[in-house]
Structure 1
Amino acid sequence: MPLRNRLRLLAVSGLALFTVSASLPPAAADPSHGQHPSGGGLSAVIRYTEYGIPHIVAKDYADLGFGNGWAQAADQVCTLADGFVTLRGERSRYFGPDAAPDGSLSSATKNLSSDLYFRGIRDSQTVEKLLKVPAPAGQSHEVKELERGWAAGYNAWLARNRITDPACRDAEWVRPVTALDVTTRAFALSVLGGQGRGIDGITAAQPPTGAVSPGVPPGDTAQAAQRLLSTQNADMGSNAVAFRGSSTANGRGLLLGNPHYPWQGGRRFWQSQQTIPGELNVAGGSLLGSATVSIGHNANIAWSHTVATGVTLNLHQLTLDPADPTVYLVDGLPERMVKRTVSVAVKGSSAVTRTQWWTRYGPVVTSLGAGLPLPWTATTAYALNDPNATNLRSPDTGLGFSRARSTADIQTTLRRTQGLPWVNTIAADSSGHSFF
């Protein structure tokens, strides 16, 4: 069949998907037919329909976050709690330093390197500083309320329910969380393609002592980096197709999304409908532990994401002071690296204390996996610059999409927040517009 006819058939056969999904089921549920959890002055109504999908109704953003956190805990408490152990830098304390994390929040190959990085983020108050940045460069009040409510809902579920899942039943590491923990999870997701990709090399970086090798010639390093970071070698990706009204039977837009994300573990999507009457009514998938919908639709617009081809990190080759490998030159002038000392508790052993070295560009890194060694020599070191290390705006982007009424609103949200760390957006609306 010619490609043109195949696309027309796909558009017509897929039309029912958008027609049904765009007509959201009424979410104003009678509490007697669902749950009405409350705590700390917050509450929500949660009604479960086919396949256990929660429909959450609340009067404001804090209450919506409460219902979201409660329902996610009810569905995935052990996976969520495991992620919060990662974010607290306590994996080595509970699971041992040499075991491997599940890979959902970073590329760290061992618990110890994961802990050293996330404990360093916590000790340096990285996320707290970003939270002080006013919107739109920083998070909005609505998102902060969602995250505050999410933590309260998760904690309320923990306080009132007995965990039966053997993965974390009676586990000491299942503990209440704070709004800061929820925001730190958003930060970790934002830097997955940057600092999160180099955690082993960041936490292992130490200045040379004694006789050192000259290292790899800079030109060879640049070529190796180009090969490693080439989009031709990417191991992540998704599919999505948006059709405008001229290619569909009823003149409305059509979106087919196929995000390539895991079905299990901490990097999976979690499905829900979230409603604040008169303000918000959206259905879709949130990244587990997130307070906003990542991919979804409302009555007017549907959107999805694919992994962007852009490389979300820069490597800076540093010229060092020959007398001190922790001093680098900026426009010919010496600048001292910032020394961060981080201690991590270890199961069955004494705490491990390591030093990390940071520059104006980001942390010194000695590798990006086995494919790209970046040796720290007497004359050269490498710093990893992650532009998303100052980006807490992804939840605001998701909230803006959730409230959008057209593809024009999608574009306005993107221009206002600049919040998507490593994905493209594809959308279609009920007026027949498509967007990439």
Structure 2
Amino acid sequence: MNSNMLLIPLLLFGPLACQADHSAAQSNIKHTSKLKAKITRTEFGIAHVRASNLRSLAFGSGYAQAQDHGCVLADSYLRVRGERAKYFGPDHYQAGDNRHVMSDYLYKIADIYGQAKLAFPTLSKDTQAAAEGFAAGFNLYLTEVQQGKARLEPTCQGESWVKPITAVDVLANIAAAGSGASLGQFATAILQAHPEQGNAWLPSASEPLKLTSPLAAVPDGDKLMTQGSNAWAIGADFSDDGKGILMANPHFPMTGQMRFWAYHANIPGELDVMGASLLGFPAVVNIGFNHNIAWSHTYSASTQSVIYRLTLDSATPLGYVLDGKSKRIAEKDIVVEVLSASGEMQSLHKPVYKAEGGMLIEIPGVLDWTEQHAYILKNTNLDNFAAIDHWLAINKAQTLQEFQQSFKDHNGLMFNNAIYTDKDGHAFYIDAANVPHLSSTALRYLNENIQAKQYFEKFRVPVLPGDDSAYYYQQSVPYAEKPKLARKDYVQNANDSYWLANASAPIAEASPLYGQHRVLQSRRTRYSLAQISHPIGDEQKFDADEVTAILLANTAQIKPIIDTVIAACEQSWQTKEVTVNGQIFALAPTCQALKKWDGRFEQSSLAAHLVREFVARVNDREDFEVSFNPQDPVNTPRNIRINEALFKELAIAGEIIRHAGFALDAPLGDIQFFEQHGKRFAWQGNMNVEGGLNVFATQNRLDQTTFAPIVTASVMTPYNDRPLWSGLSQRGYELHFGSSWMMVVDFDESGVKAKGLLTYSQSQHPNSLNANDQTQYYSEQNKLVALPFRKAEVAAKHVSTQIIKQ
């Protein structure tokens, strides 16, 4: 039992890895086939990779990704192996933060690398070929760097930690991406689990070397902000030509290892697909289209984790009881190598504990390791290596039936919903996340036990008895029981649960692990449903241009709130004053500023920042005359309640703006920006609280690279001295997260047509011509560009061609 709690930044735990021997893994992977790929770059640096087989296709994608993101990839492989402290020392941002040490321990405890190494020989030939080919392509580029034929980004050029990788590195990095969000919230709990009290859980340093600062000095981390996204699939009944239309709008980090990369994969006669993939994915396209179908993903509201409460056996050290029999918690010493300030290498040792395939965790005062009980965390994605096979099947699918079959054959989409359409006008939604399949016994306990219900509400992860095997899940939810919906009008998702994929056809309640059912929806979901359920084109049908216009309109669900407040201002409130904490505020300035807002979040929009800070203070559960009604979820709550309390919140919003140093009616483009490679770009777009589609945020806690940008501290909220939720600083809204790969796909008689844009550009290499080109295009044009897919289209936008061999 621990009497004090170490506070650790949650995102250190992006998904974790092990201490398996890297050289041994490399020697076990052999393939003698020759590799050859043709890499064509078109406008904006989009990579078109053509090869005769999957291994060579992955070879080309690994090489091309290394050209654009070599340092980020190298850093990711180092992180997943748990070797950062070995090269960078214990600290990351500042002396004493010990983030590298804790990151290494988290990855080694979760042991994803070790599990990937163990599983690799048992995986499909396609997965092995893709991972081996990608590693070979990445390594070829490193060889050319060593030969002086190429260069890496300045952040890692010439660094000793940039080294050749193996197929196991590739596989483990993908699995890490799948489990990080689920496990991040329990990073602290994983690290401090220990049967003894106090600081017994802390790593011990070997003599005579000592750490430069105590490990307990690690600072607190902010609450995890999960990935987000919007996606629409318009079916035949809602499209102007009876064919499908797809909107893809994933919200992901704008820096770091979770950036998307635009990519066209071609194996003649076998595969022809285009779109974008997260960095490190070999060969396959994550979000994209082929000649007959198009699909996207959003982050599921489900959980992939379960906590079990072990009943301990007092007669046996580290003993616990399962089904009436005594078993033993496994204990293992984990070693992390740390580069000391003097340049010497230091070994840190820490015992870690596992049972029933889960990691022991401890949350003091909530989930304590006592003499009677201990807790384990199990996660379905820690050993899920099906991602390559699953996305490959999706990439090859040509019909709805083939797309659906991919989910029957594989469970590799980790944390994603999938939204699909095709040339025949089908629209299909499925929550494809890898959710634990709980037994009826476990579900009944979760529904009836008061403490279990409280825990589930707190963590959104079930806490179940661990002394009876009836409560342990044995597999993920099978395809037949996953929430899904096929329609001919539309399906959509904006990160709320499966319930309202279509407002006129709510999905019946599924396992509670899939998220909440018949509850208040986010403003973004309500806006999405309001827009998609009322086509704006001729004969109330959509075309691709209209869908694109909605995506980029930068309008917001909260506009009726502001309209009502402005009307109240004009009636009498603009002449009044309100008192907040003894300070008197005249409402005239804020009322006058609100009147200048044009209802959008464009660069030219005046007072948009005031609107943002104000609506963030409006409570959807308390501040409306008409409360949420599950029978009318799109239109409730509604009718903002006009009273003095509301205008006090408006006054506070105005004070926040003044405290940050901006005029109440300043244009958004003077305040909201994205900064990259030393250049600042004015930026249009919403934040989630406003209920728009094109959403951005200031946080960067999902960027787990060692060179993640440091975010400027926000101003403090008046009267409670807490950092402002929006991240508004005296520099403005400094964006690090949001709309990334934006894409709209439709079909006509000639085939598929697609437009897209990667808002932060294709390359993180500052010397690349493609480091800021799409960023500048978005900032200045706010448009999507035609994607060159057919041979003639690629030729028309051709920039360069390179053939690589090995």
Q: Which of 214, 218, 233 matches 1:242?
A: 233
Are 1:299 and 2:294 an aligned pair?
Answer: no
After superposition, give the CA deviation of every residue in 1:261-311 in whole Å (9 maximum; x if it has no partner). 112100111111010000001111111011121111111111111111111
Distance 2:348 2:76 in 1: 21
Aligned to 2:335: 343
Instruction: Tell me the secondary structure at the aligned position of residue 128 of structure 2.
Output: helix
Distance 1:164 1:79 in 2: 10
Kept after mapping to 2: 8 A contact 1:109/1:200: no
The code of the aligned residue for 1:147 comes to: A
The code of the aligned residue for 1:294 comes to: N
Structure showing the higher helix proportion among its residues:
1
Are 1:68 and 2:61 an aligned pair?
Answer: yes
**421-430 vs 372-381, which deviates more?**
372-381
- Superposed counterparts of 1:37-56, under 5 Å: 41-56=34-49
Instruction: Tell me the secondary structure at the aligned position of residue 80 of structure 1.
Output: helix
Distance 2:66 2:227 in 1: 28
Distance 1:337 1:189 in 2: 28
Are 1:397 and 2:386 an aligned pair?
Answer: no
Distance 2:357 2:139 in 1: 37
Q: Which of 144, 150, 169 matches 1:160?
A: 144
After superposition, give the CA deviation of every residue in 1:214-256 in whole Å (9 maximum; x if it has no partner). xxxxxxxxxxxxxxxxxxx974321101110121112111110
- Superposed counterparts of 1:198-237, under 5 Å: 198-209=186-197, 235-237=226-228
Q: Which of 99, 104, 108 matches 1:119?
A: 108
Are 1:353 and 2:349 an aligned pair?
Answer: yes
Distance 1:47 1:205 in 2: 51
The code of the aligned residue for 1:342 comes to: I
Q: Which of 162, 178, 181 matches 2:169?
A: 181
Instruction: Tell me the secondary structure at the aligned position of residue 381 of structure 2.
Output: helix
After superposition, give the CA deviation of every residue in 1:131-168 in whole Å (9 maximum; x if it has no partner). 344xxxxx421121011000000000110134252101
Kept after mapping to 1: 8 A contact 2:120/2:168: no
Aligned to 1:216: none
**169-178 vs 199-208, which deviates more?**
199-208
Are 1:257 and 2:248 an aligned pair?
Answer: yes
> How far is 1:109 from its partner?
8.6
Aligned to 2:80: 87
Distance 1:234 1:345 in 2: 31
Aligned to 1:330: 322
Q: Which of 262, 268, 271 matches 2:262?
A: 271
Q: Which of 180, 184, 193 matches 1:192?
A: 180
> How far is 1:174 from its partner?
0.5
Distance 1:239 1:73 in 2: 29
Are 1:427 and 2:420 an aligned pair?
Answer: yes
Residues 91 and 433 (structure 1 numbering): CA distance in 2 closer, same or farther, change over 3 Å? Answer: same
Residues 273 and 168 (structure 1 numbering): CA distance in 2 closer, same or farther, change over 3 Å? Answer: same
**147-156 vs 235-244, which deviates more?**
235-244
Aligned to 1:145: 129
- For the pair shown, the structure with the greater C-alpha radius of gyration is 2
Residues 109 and 56 (structure 1 numbering): CA distance in 2 closer, same or farther, change over 3 Å? Answer: farther
User: What fraction of aligned residue pairs are identical, expressed as a percent?
Assistant: 34
Kept after mapping to 1: 8 A contact 2:112/2:172: no
Which runs of 5 or more residues in structure 1 are unaligned? 1-38, 102-107, 134-138, 213-232
Residues 124 and 356 (structure 1 numbering): CA distance in 2 closer, same or farther, change over 3 Å? Answer: farther
Instruction: Tell me the secondary structure at the aligned position of residue 364 of structure 1.
Output: strand
> How far is 1:181 from its partner?
0.3
Residues 404 and 198 (structure 1 numbering): CA distance in 2 closer, same or farther, change over 3 Å? Answer: same
Kept after mapping to 1: 8 A contact 2:108/2:334: yes
Q: What TM-score results when the alignment is normalised by the length of structure 1? A: 0.78
> How far is 1:173 from its partner?
0.5
Q: Which of 385, 388, 400 matches 2:378?
A: 385
Instruction: Tell me the secondary structure at the aligned position of residue 260 of structure 1.
Output: strand
Residues 236 and 163 (structure 1 numbering): CA distance in 2 closer, same or farther, change over 3 Å? Answer: same
Q: Which portions of structure 1, spanning 4 or more consecutive aligned residues, are displaced by more than 3 angstroms?
A: 119-124, 193-197, 233-236
Instruction: Tell me the secondary structure at the aligned position of residue 333 of structure 2.
Output: strand
Kept after mapping to 1: 8 A contact 2:106/2:191: yes
Aligned to 2:306: 314
The code of the aligned residue for 1:305 comes to: H
Kept after mapping to 2: 8 A contact 1:345/1:352: yes
Distance 2:349 2:274 in 1: 45
Kept after mapping to 2: 8 A contact 1:147/1:182: yes
Kept after mapping to 2: 8 A contact 1:305/1:424: yes
The code of the aligned residue for 1:129 comes to: L
Instruction: Tell me the secondary structure at the aligned position of residue 318 of structure 2.
Output: strand
Instruction: Tell me the secondary structure at the aligned position of residue 251 of structure 2.
Output: coil
Aligned to 1:97: 90
The code of the aligned residue for 2:408 comes to: R
Kept after mapping to 2: 8 A contact 1:88/1:119: yes
The code of the aligned residue for 1:389 comes to: L
> How far is 1:334 from its partner?
1.4
The code of the aligned residue for 2:349 comes to: T
Aligned to 2:457: none
Instruction: Tell me the secondary structure at the aligned position of residue 350 of structure 1.
Output: strand
> How far is 1:53 from its partner?
0.5
Kept after mapping to 2: 8 A contact 1:244/1:433: yes
Residues 361 and 165 (structure 1 numbering): CA distance in 2 closer, same or farther, change over 3 Å? Answer: closer
Distance 1:345 1:123 in 2: 18
**60-69 vs 345-354, which deviates more?**
345-354
> How far is 1:373 from its partner?
5.1
After superposition, give the CA deviation of every residue in 1:313-362 in whole Å (9 maximum; x if it has no partner). 00111111234562111123211011121111101151111111000040
Q: What TM-score results when the alignment is normalised by the length of structure 2? A: 0.43
Kept after mapping to 1: 8 A contact 2:112/2:382: no
- Corresponding residue pairs, total: 364
**253-262 vs 157-166, which deviates more?**
157-166
Aligned to 2:402: 409
Kept after mapping to 2: 8 A contact 1:113/1:200: no
Residues 267 and 425 (structure 1 numbering): CA distance in 2 closer, same or farther, change over 3 Å? Answer: same
Residues 40 and 409 (structure 1 numbering): CA distance in 2 closer, same or farther, change over 3 Å? Answer: closer
The code of the aligned residue for 1:96 comes to: G
Distance 1:356 1:165 in 2: 37
